Chain A
């Protein structure tokens, strides 16, 4: 079974702090994604990566950056956390970019910025 793990289930940070969210997958997947999920909205793509050291902006990259130094690990960084970044953050991975491959999700990190 594919396993996607995230470093924390719950996180509370203060405004202005630098925040690191880690994601690791164990199935040698090429693609990794970071989404945020807010009530009443669909999942929104923040960043994605198709290969090591490669990153692409999603729909809402502002205020975020990412790092993919190893194939299995994809990190999301909030350079200076703000209250509007309070959200559920979901990491996902998929085998290839081809359309038929589903995404496997981690359990999510619920981040609260105070």
Chain B
């Protein structure tokens, strides 16, 4: 099977920058998704990368290196509302998503 690894929990300060890493196995790759999930709520889509490089979308950016099986989500100018879990998911050769366990991000004032 395929494994998605991401840190369990991270803490950052309001106004700062945080990078959440995700590694995956590279066989049968069809793209990498990031989702945000606030406690008790549904996951919501943040980004999709299929080519190498950085994609910027406002305060959030997502990076992909296919050769390294590595992605990160970069959150700038952190706000308290960014406290949430961030889920990394790889789309495999069958177009099914393989999900990481999520990274719980705690923002402190």
- Residues of A at the B interface (CB closer than 8 Å) are 4, 40-45, 48, 58, 90, 97-100, 102-108
With A43-B43, A97-B95, A108-B40 given, can you name 10 additional A-B contacts, CB distance below 8 Å? A42-B4, A42-B87, A42-B89, A42-B98, A43-B99, A99-B30, A100-B31, A100-B48, A102-B33, A102-B48
- Residues of B at the A interface (CB closer than 8 Å) are 4, 8, 30-31, 33, 40-45, 48, 50, 87, 89, 91, 95-102
Q: Count CB-based A-B contacts (< 8 Å).
A: 49
Contact of B99 with A42 in the complex, beta carbons under 8 Å:
yes
The DSSP consensus for interface residues of chain B is loop
CA distance A100 to B15 in the complex (A): 31
Looking at the complex, which one of B8, B30, B33, B43 makes contact with A90 (CB distance below 8 Å)?
B43
CA distance A58 to B50 in the complex (A): 23
